Chains A and B, each alone.
Chain A
Amino acid sequence: MQYLSQYIAQPATGLWAIFRFAARIVCGAERGRQLALFRSILAEHDNMISRICLGYARVNEDFEDLRQDVYANIWTGLSSFRGDARLKTWLYRVTLNTCVSAVRRRTKAIQKIRFDEFTDIIDEDSERLRLLADLHETISALPHIDKAIVLMWLDEMSYDDISEVMGLKRNTIAVRLHRAKEKLKKHYNQ
């Protein structure tokens, strides 16, 4: 019996070792693919992601938290992302979903946005910063759904893409965008 078990145990151990080695290669390759894709997203799309997070943040702490949450969700999602949706559309969806569902702990209410506290913005042109601060304050006052639509419109996404990300009909997008643009126009005319 002992003699027989040796003939079963040894090949079984060998097969198991081969299986584990192959699994390690596949998993390692998969993780490598995920890591490479994550780094390329960071390099190519960080500004887009950061702009959306800025649109939903009232203080720098919120901005940093949102951005990290977005990247955490992207990292989790990359393991199952197989390119069935366009990467850019998928990134917009994940970023906006993270921002609209964000739960922020605050020790005190934010009375007024202080744009100069957003230290991660790289810009030395004071005129452009002033315009950006003004735009940020106007966007911050919009309801969350309208804010998402305006942020995608500012990035020149098509109505069809906005409709796909938002899960709303094209006509609804057009109507809400028109109302939001009227508010922007009114603000800047004043």
Chain B
Amino acid sequence: MTDRLKQTWQDTQFRQPSQKNIDEIIEGKRETALQNLARRYNRFSLISGIAIIGSISFLNQKLIPADNRLLLSISFAIYFFTASMMDLWLSNGISKIDCLRMSVSEVAGKAAFYRKRHFQFMAVLIPMAITLITILARQFTDNVIFLACMGIGALTGLTFGLRQLREFMADYRSLTR
């Protein structure tokens, strides 16, 4: 039975990739999934980095009581800085996975390690985000319109964030079982 399985497997023939795909590879236009992932983390890191600048705008926000502006501004800046550094760390780590030179167990181990870290970082950032949004919402308890807008923004963000999380979870395979 084993011999038959081996023979069947070895005898399997495939159509070669199309010339168009080969040309794209030779011209360097093809990006691997791993490179794409590293680039995605890099992009999120940059967006978070830019958001730090946005959090400074709380200092001038007249709707927020003056006593709380500095604290809110610093809190949001810390949050976005943390998110940016986490994504940058993940991007650097993923970029260091060398499929050409490392052994298979090493690559599988590193990929699983960064996957685990990704979820651990989410476990830190999501509660932080919820806490900060709640604190921000408490500043406007007498402003229904602002609260409604915040609610819509939070729901939109949550929907988008959950979709991204689902895509990330679907993206990664379970590498060590």
- Interface residue ranges, A against B (CB under 8 Å): 35, 38, 42, 46-47, 50-51, 54, 64-65, 67-69, 71-73, 75-77, 80, 93-94, 96-98, 100-106, 109, 120-123, 128, 131-132, 135, 143-145, 148, 154-156, 164-168, 181, 184-185, 188
Contact = CB atoms under 8 A, between A and B. Distances in A.
Contacts of B10: 51, 154-156
Interface string B17-38: 1000110011000111110110
Interface of B: 1-2, 4-6, 8-17, 21-22, 25-26, 30-34, 36-37, 97, 99-100, 102-108, 110-111, 167, 170-177
B103 A103 contact: no
Given A73-B32, A122-B14, A144 B5 contact: no
B104 A105 contact: no
Contacts of B31: 72
B108 A100 contact: yes
Contacts, number: 155
Given A54-B12, A65-B33, 16 more contacts: A68-B21, A69-B30, A71-B17, A71-B21, A96-B104, A100-B111, A100-B173, A102-B34, A102-B173, A103-B34, A109-B170, A121-B14, A122-B14, A154-B9, A167-B106, A168-B105
Contact of A105 (B1, B25, B170): B170
A35 B17 CA distance: 16
Nearest to A167: B103
Contacts of A168: 103, 105
Nearest to A165: B104
B108 A165 contact: no
A67 B170 contact: no
A38 B14 CA distance: 18
B95 to A, nearest CB: 12
Nearest to B5: A135
A97 B32 contact: no
A82 B126 CA distance: 48
Interchain residue pairs A-B with the least CB separation, the first 9: A167-B103, A97-B99, A143-B177, A50-B14, A77-B100, A69-B32, A72-B30, A122-B13, A103-B33
Given A46-B14, A93-B104, A131 B33 contact: no
Contacts of B30: 68-69, 71-72
Given A35-B26, A101-B34, A188 B1 contact: yes
A135 B2 CA distance: 11
B13 A71 contact: no
